[in-house]
Structure 1
Amino acid sequence: MIGKILKSGSFGSKVDYVTREKHDKKIFTPDTWKILGNRGLMGEKRNQIIASFEAQAMQNRRISNPAGHITLSFSADDKSKLSDEKMLKIALDYIRMMGLDRTQFLIVRHYETDKPHCHIVFNMVGDNGKRMESGRNRYKNKKVCEALTKRYRLALPKQEAPDLEKLHGLERAKAEIKIAATEALRNSRDWQTFAALLAKKNIHIIPKYRRGTQEMQGVSFQLGDYKVKGSDVGEAFKFRSLDRYFSQANRHSEPRKATATHSAAQKSGTSSVSDEAVKAVKATAATAANLAADIGEGVGQFIGGLFQPGPAYDPEEARLAWELSHPKKKKPKRGIKR
């Protein structure tokens, strides 16, 4: 069982997606989806559901993205044991363990694939008008999914490659970029190698700069006519995630040089690794073929065996491990001066 926290959007777009409102009615017929359960909603019609969510969201206008969306996906091996009642029970346990049982939610199952899955649309504004802090907590999501997989004796999640033959246009480009980027990251310890390996697959990194500066703050990946933001490829391929990952790699492989560079960066207030990202992206865009030809078979291994690229490496797991070892410090609340 895998829980995936999806990016925010409007309640209308979320409800329309899970109920197939905007899909081809000839393909996504009424028997390809079903509402399994809900809480705090006035009815099961589209307008009633959306109105219910929006009414509660009005209790806290400070929450700019109140529409939460999580998918629960199961292995095809579990399909025979996952009746609607069983999936609803698992989904309700997930909601309770995530602490989302004190807000509105809608649970919808989709049947059009061999892989059983359901969608949970929920309100980030709780019944008491406060933010549901666990609604987008990826660490808690991972732990809850592991616990439920064990409790219900579900098949362990597999890293399944997408069937490219069934994908077209932007979706196919996104899948091809993710496959290539995952492989490139597995065999890279710096921006230049990463960019060059992608160039071998005709994928180019497009930088996004802070307005009016040469400070890089985002990346997109371009394959042919399609350009996909790093965040849409995956959490591990956001600019900050990549920059942090290569920064750690450099510190492990060249500790003395990395320490000096890090100190200089702190004094200047800039990121030297980000500078390397800009140089690599520009160089790769100009001489992609030459850089790609220079890449050897042995790139990507860190000194001292700290990093051994292989099939078991998962950039998403690497990002999660870093976040767990570097918890964010909450800023102290300041009282109102009178």
Structure 2
Amino acid sequence: MIGKVIIGKSFAGCIAYNLERPEADLLEAYGVRETSIKDMIHDFNMQRKLNPSLGEAVGHIVLSWSAEDKSKLSPVIMVERAREYMEKMKIKDTQYMIIQHTDRAHPHLHLIYNRVANNGRTITDRYQKVNNAKVCKEITLRYGYHLSEGKAAVNRHRLRGADRTKYEMNDTIQAAVRLAKSFPHLEAMLRQQGIHVHYKHLGGSESVQGISFSKGAIRLKGSEIDRSLSYGKIRLQIDRNMRSLPKEQWSVGKGERPVSDIRVNAIRDVLIDNGPSLFSELLRSEQTENSEILPGWQKRKRKRKKGRRI
């Protein structure tokens, strides 16, 4: 099971879009009349007035399962999973609707809820995308649903707008990172594909803290496109690329840093993402590489002389 989080401003547009189609089936509604679409929109907007300063009051979650999970699901079970999802996401004490669409091979629901709760408080969207991924994985593992194979399993031909651009950027950047010998080299390759690289510097210094990419009006952090595209991980991959080349090709062009600089900083940055286990792995790697170039007499340990020091 996976979830797509959408925050919007118009209940009229969201509800009409999801209900005014032949493949739509309203499975459950809470806090709103089911007499007509017009009445539902009215009821959502009346509660919205309890918190008029909240501009984006429309919560919209798309919950999808793999086509392989069809035999495990029914409208009743899907409603139960949607309720469990809302509970874990702390979406409670508010109006909501659960709508099933049957226009795709895979089962999926549209959950529409009011971000203005019954008491007028705001249901936060802080860290919602991160929590969404965590909760979906918990439910998937708990009930034995099919685990997707990440971005490779996405039906890209169905993507539109920003989602389509994000996946196109991911494919292009991943391919360029596997070939890049330096960051300027990476920038040049991506520029030819209409993608620009931006760096975040630490406290106004020259020390780079993060990386983002833009294409047209869309700009995303590397880690938002894919976890493997954080600044530290790209840096480590560039270092691997350089080490796989013959030493005579380890040239440093104008504006490029030597591989040794990349290596030192890559260890620091990537440890943030990968923790102590990676440090041990890198340390062993360095010790192995260094032992291959040391003279034999330096490899042997010196024996301590017996007796006390004077």
What TM bracket, shorter-length normalisation?
0.5 to 0.7
1:198 to 156, 174, 190: 190
- In structure 2, distance between residues paired with 1:101 and 1:147: 19
Give the equivalent residue in structure 1 for 2:206.
none
Give the equivalent residue in structure 2 for 1:224.
none
1:12 aligned to 2:12? Answer: yes
2:64 to 65, 73, 91: 73
In 2, are the aligned partners of 1:98 and 1:135 still within 8 Å (CA)? no
In 1, are the aligned partners of 2:2 and 2:63 still within 8 Å (CA)? yes
Task: Give the drift of 1:129.
Answer: 0.5
TM-score (norm 1): 0.57
Larger Rg belongs to: 2
In 2, are the aligned partners of 1:106 and 1:120 still within 8 Å (CA)? yes
Give the equivalent residue in structure 2 for 1:180.
172
- In structure 2, distance between residues paired with 1:171 and 1:237: 10
Task: Give the drift of 1:128.
Answer: 0.8
In 2, are the aligned partners of 1:124 and 1:135 still within 8 Å (CA)? no
- In structure 2, distance between residues paired with 1:169 and 1:133: 26
- In structure 2, distance between residues paired with 1:42 and 1:74: 28
In 2, are the aligned partners of 1:38 and 1:107 still within 8 Å (CA)? yes
What do the CA deviations read for 1:2-36 (whole angstroms, capped 9, x no partner)? Answer: 122124332222223322x4xxxxxxx51x22111
Number of residues paired by the alignment? 240
In 1, are the aligned partners of 2:7 and 2:56 still within 8 Å (CA)? no
Long gaps (5+) in structure 2 = 199-211, 240-252, 257-261, 276-310
What do the CA deviations read for 1:62-118 (whole angstroms, capped 9, x no partner)? Answer: 222111111112122112222111111111111122221211111111221222211
Task: Give the drift of 1:45.
Answer: 2.6
Give the CA RMSD over aligned residues.
4.4
In 2, are the aligned partners of 1:41 and 1:49 still within 8 Å (CA)? yes
Closer/same/farther in 2, CA of residues 68 and 191 from structure 1, 3 Å limit: farther
Closer/same/farther in 2, CA of residues 103 and 176 from structure 1, 3 Å limit: same
Long gaps (5+) in structure 1 = 22-28, 208-217, 222-226, 255-290, 295-299, 309-317, 323-338
- In structure 2, distance between residues paired with 1:189 and 1:120: 46
In 2, are the aligned partners of 1:108 and 1:118 still within 8 Å (CA)? yes
In 1, are the aligned partners of 2:233 and 2:270 still within 8 Å (CA)? no
In 2, are the aligned partners of 1:5 and 1:71 still within 8 Å (CA)? yes
Describe how 1:1-338 pairs up with structure 2 within 5 A.
1-19=1-19, 21=20, 30=22, 32-43=23-34, 45-133=36-124, 137-159=128-150, 160-164=152-156, 175-184=167-176, 192-200=184-192, 202-205=193-196, 220-221=214-215, 227-230=216-219, 236-237=224-225, 245-246=230-231, 303-304=266-267
TM-score (norm 2): 0.61
